[in-house]
Amino acid sequence: MSQVPSVRERRTVGLLKRLRLSRAVVNVILGLVAVFWLVPTISLLVISLRPESLFGESGWWTVFTAPSQLTWGNYTTIFSQGFAAGGVLDSLTTSLEITIPVTILVALISSLAAYSLVFGSWRGRDWIFLVIVGLMVVPLQVALIPVVQLYREMGNLFGLNPYGTIPGVIIFHVAFGLPFGIFLMRNFLTGIPKDLLEAGRIEGAGEWKIFYSIVLPLALPAIASLAIFQFIWVWNDLLVALVFLGGNVHTPLTIFLYDQTRSLAANYWIVSTGAVVSIFVPLIVFFSFQRYFVRGVLAGAVK
């Protein structure tokens, strides 16, 4: 075996020989691309770690020759407010208060709906699925005004107006997260052999048992992808929060940043520090679940 290289091996070797020159070029090109891609992130990080006074004085890149510039000062300043309304920590909490329920609800409802769409036998499920796929591309901006009016009507009729409340934002996000969630879960569940469910049914398992002890464990990777996506979307949303929580005391991080740019237009350092705080959570999520994230990108190509 070892003396005689396989056809494939020989082919690869030949290919490599011809590529050797261009491989160096490729490395350089991609190296430059990588640097270009990293600069913005690094600049943000460095600006947040340099003292306010240095901001307009010299470029952030001077830090590479003078590392002594680095300080936690900006962070101490923005965290010093604690959890008081309008502060970074309050916004962080609000962001979590919105994001976590939305993520859980979307994952749960999507899985159940997809289960029924894939393994159910009721009439019209193909049509419902097509409607859901159609809804996926509808930009949420289209629904802002009708939903605000609907919320107002709810207030008039039941004395319960979700406009301007966190549940109001959650409902909106869940509603707009579901089409993609159901689409992704359905696509994944169709890959589960029907035989498995039938085996379960023959062994005496009811629908719930089949759902949570056979389908759910198998669909875990898809649920993880969906949850990560949903989490990042909602965490990063500015528009919906602005429309529904614009005037609120407690606002998510995106609004905090937006307000900072509006009111203290020149205070890049505080904005940058806030921005680092805001990207910290999604970055952790991204790096810990990169595999699922990529899978989600692939599954959700149409959104």
Partner 1 sequence: MSSVTLRELTKQYAGNAGLSLDSVSLDVAHGEFICLVGPSGCGKTTALRMIAGLESVTSGEIEIGDRVVNDLAPRDRDIALVFQSYALYPHMTVFGNMSFGLKIRKVPKDEIKAAVTDAARILDLEQYLDRKPAQLSGGQRQRVALGRAIVRNPAAFLMDEPLSNLDAKLRVQTRAEIARLHHRLGATMIYVTHDQVEAMTMADRIAVINLGKLEQVGSPRELYLRPANQFVAGFIGSPSMNFVPMHVESIDGGIRVVSAGGDMDVNLDDVESAMIHRAGVSDVVLGVRPEHLDHRPRSGRGLQLSASVDVIEFLGNDEHVHLSSGSHELVAIVDARTPLTIGDTLTLSASSEAIHLFHPETGVALK
Partner 2 sequence: MLVFPFFVTFIGLMVAVLTERIRWATAFKAIIVMPIVFSTTASALVWRTIFDLDPHIGVVNAIEQTVSDWFSTPGAYPLNSSTGETVASLATFNAKGGPGGTLVSSSAVQPGGTVMMGLTRISSVTLQTLGAKTPVAPHEMAAGIAGLVWNDFSTSQPSNTTSIVSDEHGLPNLRLSLVSSKGSSVASTVTDASGDFSFSHVAPGSYHVQILASNFQIAFVGTFWLGSPSLTPVSSLNQTAQSLLSVPLIDLAMIISYIWIWAGFAMVLIGAGLAALNREVLEAAEIDGANEWQTLRRVTIPMLAPVLTVVFVTMVINVLKVFDIILNMAPGSSQGPATTLALTIYNDGFTGGIHSGLASAVAVILFLLVVPAMLWNLKKIKG
Q: Which stretches of the chain bind partner 1, using CB under 8 A?
A: 193, 195-196, 198-206, 209, 213-214, 217-218
Residue 10: which H helix or E strand, with range?
helix 7-49
Nearer Cβ to partner 2 (119/229): 229
Contact present, 188 and 227 (Cβ < 8 Å): no
CB of 255 to partner 2, least distance (A): 9
**Secondary structure of residue 125 in the 3-state scheme:** helix
Query: What distances in angstroms separate CA 261 from CA 38, 148, 188, 268, one per listed residue?
Result: 23, 26, 42, 8
**Residue 139 interacts with which of partner 2, partner 1, none, CB < 5 to 8 Å by class:** partner 2
Residue in this structure with the two tokens 């890959």, named with its chain if needed: 191
CB of 202 to partner 2, least distance (A): 32
Cα distance between residue 44 and residue 127, in whole Å: 47
User: Of the candidates 195, 194, 189, 198, which has an alpha carbon nearest to the alpha carbon of residue 218?
Assistant: 189
Cα distance between residue 167 and residue 47, in whole Å: 35
**Residue 44 interacts with which of partner 1, partner 2, none, CB < 5 to 8 Å by class:** partner 2
CB of 23 to partner 2, least distance (A): 6
**Residue 205 interacts with which of partner 2, partner 1, none, CB < 5 to 8 Å by class:** partner 1
**Secondary structure of residue 8 in the 3-state scheme:** helix
Cα distance between residue 107 and residue 222, in whole Å: 9
Nearer Cβ to partner 1 (57/195): 195
CB of 166 to partner 2, least distance (A): 18
Nearer Cβ to partner 1 (26/199): 199
DSSP letters along 69-133, please? G--SHHHHHHHTTTT-TTSHHHHHHHHHHHHHHHHHHHHHHHHHHHHHHHH---TTHHHHHHHHH
**Residue 40 interacts with which of partner 1, partner 2, none, CB < 5 to 8 Å by class:** partner 2
CB of 208 to partner 2, least distance (A): 29
**Residue 217 interacts with which of partner 1, partner 2, none, CB < 5 to 8 Å by class:** partner 1
Nearer Cβ to partner 2 (211/229): 229
**Residue 89 interacts with which of partner 2, partner 1, none, CB < 5 to 8 Å by class:** none
CB of 286 to partner 2, least distance (A): 4
CB of 211 to partner 1, least distance (A): 13
**Residue 258 interacts with which of partner 1, partner 2, none, CB < 5 to 8 Å by class:** partner 2
Angle between helices 88-119 and 268-288 (to 10 degrees): 30
Residue in this structure with the two tokens 């952030």, named with its chain if needed: 60
Cα distance between residue 121 and residue 144, in whole Å: 35
